[in-house]
C-alpha cells in the first residue's frame, strides 16, 4: 500500500447491522451490550545507545482478520468494553474488547471512502446517552453515532475538505476536526455548531499550519489548550481563548494519529527513517529525547504514537519495518514488539493501560496485552 503521504496527495488518505448502549440526551434509551533536529536535553541521557539483544513479542489477546479493506484507525470505548475499527471502505466495525466478537457495524460513507479517525465521546454528568462514537471520513463528513442502536445522530459536512483528525476535550463539551484544508475547527458538542477556526493566513496575527493536518490532541488537564500537527513539520499549540497558536515545535513530520501529551511531555511519531520517535517539553517546546528505534531489519516510519493512560508506556508503530513497539517511558527502552506483514496505521491503549489495540494494513484489527 502507498504511504499516507502518497495517498493524501491523491486526495485519498490511507487508503449492515446490529444491535443496540447507550451523555446531551439524544433521546435514545440504552440497552446493555453482550486510536537536523535540535540537540536533546534532560532525558536524552537515558535513551539507550546499545542494540537490544532481543525484543519479546507482546502476547495477543485476539485478532480479527478477513476485513474487506485495510484498518486505518482503532479506538477503545471510554469504559474499554468495546473496540471500534475504521476501515478503508468507510465501514466501522465494533468488537467486544475482551473476546473480539463483532457486535456492531456502521457505514460512515455511502461513497466507500476511508474512515480516517474516531473518538468515543467522554462520559460526563451533563450527557445521558452512552457509547456515542464520533467518526471522520475522507469525504469531509463528521458523524455522531449511537453505536449500540446503529443510529447516526448527527452529520456535519465540511465542504471541500477531507477530515483526517478529530479529538474531544476531556469533559466532552467540545470537539476538534482538521484535515486537507490546513484549518483546525472547534465545535460545541451540545449544539453541534462550529465555534472557532484556528488557522494562519491573511489577517491572522498567529502562526498556523501550511499543509495538511493529521493529528489533534486536547490537553488532558488544561481545557484551553489544543495540539495539532501534520505535513508542515510543526506541532502547533493553540490557546482557545485567543484562537491562536501560542507556541510551535519544529521538526516532526506527522502523517497519522501520532502526537500525544502526558503531564509536561509530548510524544511525536514521524513518518521518516531516523529520529522518528521523539519526546518534547510542553512548556518550552524543546526536545527532550530522541528514542532510538534499534535492532530492526529496516527503518520504521511512524503513523501512530501514544502514551498509556498510566503514563508508564509509549506505543508506536508504522510502515517499513511493519511493527509496533512498546517502550518504557522512564528508561525509553523497548519492552515488547508486534511484528506484522503490512504497515501499522493506528494504536490505542485501553483506559486501564492493560491492553493495546492495533489497526493495520493486513486487513486485521488486534488487541495485545501490555505487561505491568
Asked if 361 and 1 count as a contact pair (C-beta separation under 8 A), the reply is yes
pLDDT tens track for 2-25: 444 344 334 434 443 333 333 334
Whole-number pLDDT of residue 292: 94
Q: What angle do CA 317, 218, 215 make, to 5 degrees?
A: 40
Q: What is the pLDDT of residues 299-354, one digit of tens each?
A: 999 999 999 999 999 999 999 999 999 999 999 999 999 999 999 999 999 999 99
How far apart CA 276 and CA 253 sit, in angstroms, is 8
Q: Which long-range contacts (CB under 8 A, 24 or more apart) does 50-54 make?
A: 50/294, 51/294, 51/295, 52/294, 52/295, 52/333, 52/334, 54/295
Q: Encode pLDDT of 105-148 as tens digits.
A: 999 988 889 999 999 999 875 777 899 999 999 999 999 999 99
- φ, ψ for residue 45 (rounded to 5)? -65, -25
Q: What are the DSSP calls for 84-128, one per residue?
A: EEEETTSEEEEEETTT--EEEEEE--TT---EEEEEEPPP-TT--
pLDDT exceeds 70 at position 40: no
Q: What are the domain boundaries of the chain?
A: 4-369
Place of cell 503513523: 303
Residue among 133, 135, 132, 131 at smallest CA distance from 116: 135
Q: Is the pLDDT of residue 37 over 60?
A: no
Cell 501560542 maps to which residue? 246
What is the arithmetic mean of pLDDT over 218-234? 97
Over 60: is that where the pLDDT of 28 sits?
no
Position 203 scores a pLDDT of 55
Q: In Å, how far from its chain's centre is CA 39? A: 27
Give the end-to-end CA distance of the chain in Å, rounded to a whole number. Answer: 34
Cell representation of residue 72:
486505518
| Torsion over CA: 135, 267, 336, 255 (sign) | positive
pLDDT at 253 over 70: yes
Which segment of 2-16, 61-75, 280-294 scores lowest on mean pLDDT?
2-16
Mean local confidence (pLDDT), 30-34: 40
246 vs 49, higher pLDDT: 246
Q: In what order do the strands lie in the sheet with 225-230?
A: 213-218, 225-230, 234-239, 244-250
Q: What is the mean pLDDT of residues 35-64?
A: 60
What is the rounded distance in angstroms from the CA atom of residue 250 to the CA atom of residue 143? 32
Please give the Cα distance from 144 to 155 (Å, whole number). Answer: 7
* pLDDT for the residue 158: 97
- Alpha-carbon distance of 358 to 337, in angstroms, equals 12
Tell me the per-residue pLDDT of 144-200, one tens digit each, with 9 for 90 and over: 999 999 999 999 999 999 999 999 999 999 999 999 999 999 999 999 999 999 997
Superfamily assignment of 4-369 in CATH? YVTN repeat-like/Quinoprotein amine dehydrogenase (2.130.10.10)
pLDDT attached to residue 125: 55
At residue 252, the pLDDT reads: 98
Amino acid at each position: 500500500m502507498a504511504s499516507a503521504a502518497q495517498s493524501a496527495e491523491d486526495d485519498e488518505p490511507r487508503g449492515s447491522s446490529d444491535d443496540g448502549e447507550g451523555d446531551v440526551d439524544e433521546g435514545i434509551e440504552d440497552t446493555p451490550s453482550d486510536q537536523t533536529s535540535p540537540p536533546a536535553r534532560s532525558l536524552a541521557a537515558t535513551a539507550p545507545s546499545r542494540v537490544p539483544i532481543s525484543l519479546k513479542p507482546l502476547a495477543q489477546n485476539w485478532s480479527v482478520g478477513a476485513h474487506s479493506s485495510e484498518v486505518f484507525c482503532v479506538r477503545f470505548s471510554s469504559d474499554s468494553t468495546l473496540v471500534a475499527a475504521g476501515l478503508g471502505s468507510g465501514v466501522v466495525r465494533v468488537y467486544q474488547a475482551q473476546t473480539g466478537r463483532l457486535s456492531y457495524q456502521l457505514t460512515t460513507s455511502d461513497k466507500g471512502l476511508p474512515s480516517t479517525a474516531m473518538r468515543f465521546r467522554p462520559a460526563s454528568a451533563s450527557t445521558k446517552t452512552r457509547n456515542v462514537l464520533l467518526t471522520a471520513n475522507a469525504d469531509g463528513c463528521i458523524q455522531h453515532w449511537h453505536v449500540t442502536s446503529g443510529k447516526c445522530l448527527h452529520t456535519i459536512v465540511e465542504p471541500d475538505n477531507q477530515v483526517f483528525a478529530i479529538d474531544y476535550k476531556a469533559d466532552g463539551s467540545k470537539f476538534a476536526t482538521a484535515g486537507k484544508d490546513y484549518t483546525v475547527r472547534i465545535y460545541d458538542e451540545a449544539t453541534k455548531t462550529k465555534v472557532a477556526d484556528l488557522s494562519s493566513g491573511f489577517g491572522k496575527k498567529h502562526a498556523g499550519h501550511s499543509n495538511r493536518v493529521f493529528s489533534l490532541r486536547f490537553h488532558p488537564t488544561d481545557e484551553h489548550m489544543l495540539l495539532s500537527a501534520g505535513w508542515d513539520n510543526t506541532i502547533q499549540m493553540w490557546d482557545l481563548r485567543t484562537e491562536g497558536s501560542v507556541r510551535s515545535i519544529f521538526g516532526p513530520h506527522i502523517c497519522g494519529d501520532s502526537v500525544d501529551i502526558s503531564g509536561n511531555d509530548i510524544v511525536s511519531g514521524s513518518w521518516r527513517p531516523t529520529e522518528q520517535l521523539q519526546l518534547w517539553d510542553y512548556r518550552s517546546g524543546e526536545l527532550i529525547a530522541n528514542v532510538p528505534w534499534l535492532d530492526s531489519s529496516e527503518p520504521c516510519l511512524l503513523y501512530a504514537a501514544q502514551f498509556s493512560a498510566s503514563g508508564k508506556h509509549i506505543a508506536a508503530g508504522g510502515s517499513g519495518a511493519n511493527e509496533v513497539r512498546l517502550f518504557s517511558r522512564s528508561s525509553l527502552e523497548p519492552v515488547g514488539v508486534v511484528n506484522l506483514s503490512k504497515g501499522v496505521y493506528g494504536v490505542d491503549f485501553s483506559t486501564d493501560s492493560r491492553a493495546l489495540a492495533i489497526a493495520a494494513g493486513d486487513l486485521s484489527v488486534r488487541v495485545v496485552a501490555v505487561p505491568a
